[in-house]
Homo-oligomer: A and B are copies of this chain.
Amino acid sequence: MTDIAALARGCAILGTGGGGDVRTGSLAAVRAVREYGEVPLVELADLPEDALVVPLSGIGAPTVSHEMIHSEEEPKRIAEEVERLFGRPPTAIMSSEIGGANGVAPVAWAAQLGLPLLDADGMGRAFPEVQMVSMYVAGLPANLVIMSDVAGNVVTIRPVDGLWSERLARAVCVASGSHALMADYVLTAARARGAVIEGTVTRALDVGRATEGAPDPLRALQDRLGAVRLITGKLTDVERRTTGGFVRGTATVEGTGDDRGRSLALELQNENLVAVENGRVRAMVPDLITVVDTETAAAVQTESLRYGQRVTVLAWPCDPLWRTPKGLETAGPRAFGYELDYVPVEELTAHG
């Protein structure tokens, strides 16, 4: 799996603005592959039943994490703790979240550990909170989190549920300087079946390659994603603040060209969560909403939103898992404090 540039582009698109700056993840991945060699991509079906899969992600505020110096010791300390707790070493690394830096950086972590990367993740996108993973939605008890930080501290959390997992992991993250590496759940391959979203590394690579050499990159990306174009215009208002390990804020896109006179507001919480036009919701979490550069179709992540940028906002359907009652309870609009009943993006835009 050599095409880290394409993977990074794809992960940025699937990150819906969040998941950490893909440039950090890419640099780390390129450097680690150069030093330790290629990372094989494996499928779940290829692993023995008792193989240990370690889902890893960076946890923290994007505006902090892309400035942080990462340590190669972090994945090693987590692998050591896994071996201490389970009596055997990890078999494969998995990305907890394919969106953003957390989709790319696992290549670095896998390379450093000399382990393969599983072609799967726990979100199929990016989400801001620890319990918002497919394993939780699939009903696996959220009973183990292992964290390591750049200072060398290792913290193992045995939470009573996913909400405590998030609360405690976030507190540790903030105390560690608003960034840490985290293994959330350690899964046998047997337990991972049906509890992870398979094929998402391949999907990210595929999305990242869609724009390569395309005469109309935006069109090519939109087709590959099966996305609706919500607006094309320029960013006129960006308001962000970092609190408690999160970036929250709003961004407004004023339409240009065919969209002149229209205006779309995005609600952000690390990721783009809700898109509103004239008081009418056009797309909402857990469906994916990504801001891209209108010309290149490259994703514009939350921390890079700037006044005056020429952008297009795309939206497309999430993995069906997130549309189940447990999925919506975990990561639907109300899980983020919006008093909205979830309506799929296809319906919202079909009625437009």
Contacts and interface: CB of A to CB of B under 8 A. Distances in A.
A342 interface: no
A141 interface: no
A340 interface: no
A151 B174 contact: no
B153 A158 contact: yes
A176 B163 CA distance: 12
Interface in A287-341: none
Contacts of A164: 151, 153
B159 A158 contact: no
Interface string A141-163: 00000000001111111111000
Contact of A175 (B84, B151, B171, B176): B171
Given A168-B172, A171-B171, A172-B171, A152 B156 contact: no
Contacts of A151: 160, 164
Interface residues of A, number: 22
Contacts of A156: 155-158
Interface string A43-79: 0000000000000000000000000000000000000
B155 A155 contact: yes
Interface in A166-224: 167-168, 170-172, 174-176
B168 A153 contact: yes
Contacts of A176: 168
Contacts of A81: 158
Contacts of A85: 84
A181 to B, nearest CB: 14
Nearest to A157: B155
A170 B174 CA distance: 11
B153 A155 contact: no
Given A81-B158, A154-B157, A155-B155, 7 more contacts: A153-B160, A153-B164, A153-B168, A154-B158, A155-B168, A155-B172, A172-B172
Q: What are the 7 tightest A-B residue pairs by CB atom distance, in nearest-first order?
A: A171-B175, A154-B158, A156-B156, A152-B160, A171-B171, A155-B157, A153-B159
7 contacts: A81-B158, A153-B158, A153-B168, A155-B168, A155-B172, A170-B175, A171-B174
